[in-house]
Structure 1
Amino acid sequence: MDGAGAERTQFRRQLRGTLTEAERRLWYRLRDRRLAGFKFVRQEGIGRYVADFRCRDARLVVEVDGGQHAESDHDRVRDAWLKAQGYRVLRFWNAEVMTNTIGVLDTILSALPPSPRLRGEGRAPLAGGEASPEGDGEGGPPDETPPATPPHPRLPPRFADDKVGKTLSPQAGRGGEHP
């Protein structure tokens, strides 16, 4: 690795270690494929720029900005370059991430293609592999009706800090205890 490459790597490591509270909140919900199965990375270089969050597969860049970015010529040039490279850029203010996290996640979801989790990967095959000729044997449709799906299947589980806990039943939308 040349000196310039090592310097850029060190800079990105430093950025990852000094996330703002808004970036930390959003990263908690984007990491580990938590948002509809999409892989996001943080503080990754794209050309000479560094993206706050990037989904490589969807060619989506998410930026979380403070007030210093308002009407920034540098950001306009950067966004134009990223768009020319085939990326879609979404920008959110720190305050918006802190006060409306679910709304921000919903906006990000609307910019993504259909979820990889909805295509059937990772599901166990049916017993027998296919339905019987009459359609009733192994692999046929189940006798009982499937459980109702949540109102928005692509939204992540709700978190205690989203201030919606009182409106949900104890089990609704929660996969266990979350910090």
Structure 2
Amino acid sequence: MWFRLRDRRLAGFKFVRQESVGSYVADFCCREAKLIIEIDGSQHADNPRDTIRDTWLASQGYRVLRFWNAEAMTNTIGVLDTILAALPPSPRVRGEGRDDLVVGATSGSEGEGACPPEPHSLPPPHPRLPPRFGDDEVAEALSPRAGRGGDSG
């Protein structure tokens, strides 16, 4: 689950793990959305301490989502979709980032706040890495000599 939540991989929301909240420790926490995700084993079934804990966290403005270990392992996409549904609208702007943040997510480019589709263009190159081109024609067209006229080879 951490692999799917870390590095703002879930719609741009920052999650941290093993976050202290008061005297409790949350498995995963999105501070900006005040959302706590707990992945629990069977020892948490009907645990009165968890009820007290969840009540206190709610009094602090947090929402707690609990999932069984087995569900997180066998239905990861469903768990991520449930988490995504509990989050406010994404902080990402106009769909920036990877398309596969949540494979099963039903959201797309439609809906409230959607921008009209723009023509596809290549993302800007990474500022610290040199460009890599698969064919020489593209590399030649983008070389420093491109667009200077007269010099054909």
Q: What is the number of residues matched between the two proteins? A: 102
Residue 83 (structure 1) aligns with = 58
| CA positional deviation for 1:95 | 0.4
The corresponding residue for 2:71 is 96
Change (3 A) 1:75 1:157: closer
In structure 1, give the amino acid aligned to 2:101.
P
Q: Structure 1 unaligned runs (5+)? A: 1-25, 124-152, 159-179
TM-score, length-scaled by structure 1: 0.54
TM (norm. structure 2) is 0.63
**2:82 aligned partner:** 107
- One-letter amino acid of the structure 2 residue matched with residue 34 of structure 1: R
TM-superposed deviation, 1:157: 5.0
Aligned to 1:171: none
Show the 5 A alignment for 1:1-179.
Answer: 26-118=1-93, 120=94, 156-158=101-103
Q: Any gaps of 5 or more consecutive residues in structure 2?
A: 104-153
- Aligned-pair CA distance for 1:83: 0.2
Return the offset for 1:92.
0.1
Could you say which structure has the higher helix fraction? Answer: 1
RMSD: 2.0
Does structure 1 conserve the Cα–Cα contact (< 8 Å) formed by 2:24 and 2:53? Answer: yes
Segments of 4+ moved more than 4 angstroms: 120-123
Q: Which has the larger radius of gyration?
A: 2
Give the drift of 1:156.
1.7
